[in-house]
Structure 1
Amino acid sequence: MLESERSLIRQVEHVHIRCWVCVLSCLLLACLYVGSLYVWRSSLPRDHPSMIKLRCISVLLVSALSPAVVKAWTHWADVRVSASVLELMGVRLEGLIPAATLPLLLTMVFYLGPLVHSAMDNPKGFMGELQSVLDVQSWKLCVGDVMWLRNQVVAPVTEELVFRGAMLPMLVPCTGPTAAIFIAPLFFGVAHFHHIIEQRRLQKDRMSTILQVAGIQFLYTTVFGAYTAFIFMRTGHVVGPVLCHSFCNSQGLPDISSALQHPEKPALLFSYLMGALLFLVLLFPLTDTFFYGAVPACSLAPSPLSVCH
């Protein structure tokens, strides 16, 4: 009996150590990501083209290092898994096409109201919106804009790779898949508090206003992070979260207050409501593992949970 108790104590201690390693590894990555933004000493604002380029280089380097952090974590936490580090992080070929299309479609369904709103305000209507999306010249201008590249390409790729692709597999063995979906976004949300430093340095607003804006940003980035974490754990791919992140950055937060003042308010509110309802109906069917195959990160779970199936 005494030997069995000792064995149980050793198992508990091992779990505690593993959890500490998981949390500290995630904290290390978050600090590396945010810290890399401030290695360049400059008085320029964050939206200055030169500063954007330097910060993009920083976060791209951190993202490139993230697989090494995950690999080191498997050694420190004594985690054995058959999948490669990149597969754990959602970089894999199986189910790639559904992973690149279905989560994005699901996100667009949620944005049905804003998309209809934008089409109504376009003088050329829905066809005008479609033409602007397919306009090659417009895309060329976007690619040449460093702010667009930061918001639509670099930020989604690096943030999803670090805060979802790297952190979720490290959290799953300790917390399980479902809890990891809600814990990982906290690192993502807190990481955005660094904007307080920027705003305070430029002295654009009072501290109370800066803190209020930071609190709101923490809320919606955490909620959004939980959504993309859910997509990652359901699909086992990072491409879906990246594309959804890019799309949401292009759309911004749904402007319901503007819809309430619109001449076509009933139709707009109906589209907002239908988008939300369809999103809830399609959330699990469009992220079913049938389309994507087995999720490597789920194999790290201490016991199978519903979110992985």
Structure 2
Amino acid sequence: MSTMADHGGGAGGPELCSVSVVSCLLLACGYVGSLYVWRSQLPRDHPTVIKRRFTSVLIVSMLSPLWLWTWRQYTGFKTGPSLLMLMGVHLEGIIAAACLPLLLTMVLFLGPLIQLVMDYPWDLFKGMKTFLAPQFWVQCLADMRWMRNQVVAPLTEELVFRACMLPMLVPCTGLGRAIVTCPLFFGVVFQFSYTAVFGAYTAFIFIRTGHLIGPVLCHSFCNYMGFPAIGAALDHPRKVTIFFFYLLGVILFFLLLFPMTDPTFYGSLAICHMTKPDTSTSVCT
């Protein structure tokens, strides 16, 4: 009996692609809509608003694997890797997946990191002592804005927009186009900005490593760093040194992008099984 899965492999038929696109769009609307389901006159950074949004967005995120499972059952992609493997939740190669993509992202932010070190009021020893102190982490965990920016937003966004959407898109678009297409669903229902470019980067990391943890950690790190403060760098008394590291970081990033995300470091790439070998790109190799 023929199923929509028979038309997969990155060259999906119209029915498969329609189901996949609509499924991703509904999931994106559900996620973003959950942020605005609460009516309040309070600012978005108020702890009450943050806690309410935590509740709704966590519910949507916990239901998103069920959404992927339903799509898989309907389209016929029932065989092959398990659902958790497709979502990048497994132990094989997890140490490399947690460390290498984060290190690569830090290389890209080499300029801002050097600028941060130059402007840091404490010396390195005091900074490390503070970082390792239990009180520091207790304060962080009690701060709703920190929890949103460093934990909840990275985890839920990567789970929904990468781990659950990419497996639905790949059989229709193929691997390469899925990386570019996936972030657009966030932009369609929210706003298109540099976050879409970052979304393409974490989608690339997800497919190349087959793990969810790498995109989550990279997302958390980028939320902490924020967009590079180019204006402050231009006014900095040591701007020549800072811009040297900005340039060096970008060059090293592109040189290391494929070597540091080499799939051989991370074990089996489950999502690559959802596209035909003769239509897959170099993303999985």
Q: State if a TM-score over 0.5 links the two structures.
A: yes
Select which of 43, 63, 68 maps to 1:45.
Answer: 43
- 1:266 and 1:110 map into 2 onto residues whose CA distance is 18
CA gap 1:267/1:11 in 2 versus in 1, 3 angstroms: closer
Identical aligned pairs, as a percentage? 57
Cα pair 1:30 1:163 within 8 Å, conserved = yes
CA distance in 2: counterparts of 1:126 and 1:293, whole angstroms: 36
Residue 45 of structure 1 deviates from its aligned partner by 2.2
The one-letter code of the counterpart of 1:95 is G
Separation in 1, partners of 2:162, 2:280: 20
The match for 2:174 is: 176
Choose the corresponding residue for 1:248, options 222, 226, 248: 222
Cα deviations by residue, 1:80-104 (Å, 9 ceiling, x for unpaired): 3311111111111111111111100
Find the counterpart in structure 1 of residue 261 from structure 2: 287
Counterpart CA distance in 2 for 1:118 and 1:18 is: 48
The residue that corresponds to 2:162 in the other structure is 164
* Native 8 Å contact 2:176 2:281 kept in 1: yes
Cα displacement string for residues 133-163 of structure 1 (whole angstroms, at most 9, x for unaligned residues): 3343222211110111011100000000000
Q: Is the 8 A contact 1:185 1:226 kept in 2?
A: yes
Indicate if the aligned counterparts of 1:171 and 1:180 stay in contact, CA closer than 8 A.
yes
Q: Which runs of 5+ in 1 are unaligned?
A: 1-9, 194-217
The alignment status of 1:306 with 2:282, answered yes or no, reads: yes
CA distance in 1, matches of 2:260, 2:132: 26
Query: How many angstroms apart in 2 are the aligned matches of 1:184 and 1:46?
Result: 26
The 3 A distance-change label for structure 1 pair 15 and 60 is: same
Distance across 1 between alignment mates of 2:172 and 2:34: 28
Q: Kindly report which structure 2 residues correspond to 1:18-167, keeping only aligned pairs within 5 A, or say none.
A: 18-167=16-165
| TM score, norm. by length of structure 1 | 0.85
CA shift digits 1:170-219 (9 cap, x unpaired): 000000010000000111223433xxxxxxxxxxxxxxxxxxxxxxxx22
Q: Which amino acid aligns with 2:165?
A: M
Larger Rg, first or second structure (1 or 2): 1
How far is 1:125 from its partner? 4.4
- The amino acid of 1:103's aligned partner reads P
Query: Cα gap change, 1:273/1:161 in structure 2, threshold over 3 Å: closer, same or farther?
Result: same
Give the C-alpha shift of residue 77 in structure 1: 1.6
Q: Does the alignment pair 1:16 with 2:14?
A: yes
Distance, in Å, in 1 between the alignment partners of 2:149 and 2:85 is: 26
* Conserved? CA contact 1:63–1:162, under 8 Å: yes
Q: CA RMSD in A?
A: 1.8
In 2, the alpha carbon distance for the partners of 1:75 and 1:249 equals 35
Code of the aligned partner of 2:174: G
Query: One-letter code of the match for 2:248?
Result: M
Does the CA-based 8 Å contact 1:119-1:128 persist in structure 2?
A: no
Compare relative contact order (CA 8 Å, sep 6+) and give the higher one, 1 or 2.
Answer: 2
- The answer (yes or no) to whether the contact 2:7–2:16 under 8 Å persists in 1 is no
Which amino acid in 2 is paired with 1:306? Answer: S
Cα 1:262/1:239, change in 2 over 3 Å = same
Deviation at 1:123, TM superposition (A): 3.0
Aligned residues: 276
**Are 2:24 and 2:165, in contact at CA under 8 Å, matched by a contact in 1?**
yes
Report if aligned partners of 1:81, 1:300 keep a CA contact under 8 Å in 2: no
Give structure 2 stretches of 5+ with no counterpart.
Answer: 1-5
CA contact (8 A) 2:80 2:273 kept: no
Q: Distance in 2 between matches of 1:14 and 1:155?
A: 32
> More deviation in 169-178 or 294-303?
294-303
* Separation in 1, partners of 2:126, 2:170: 45
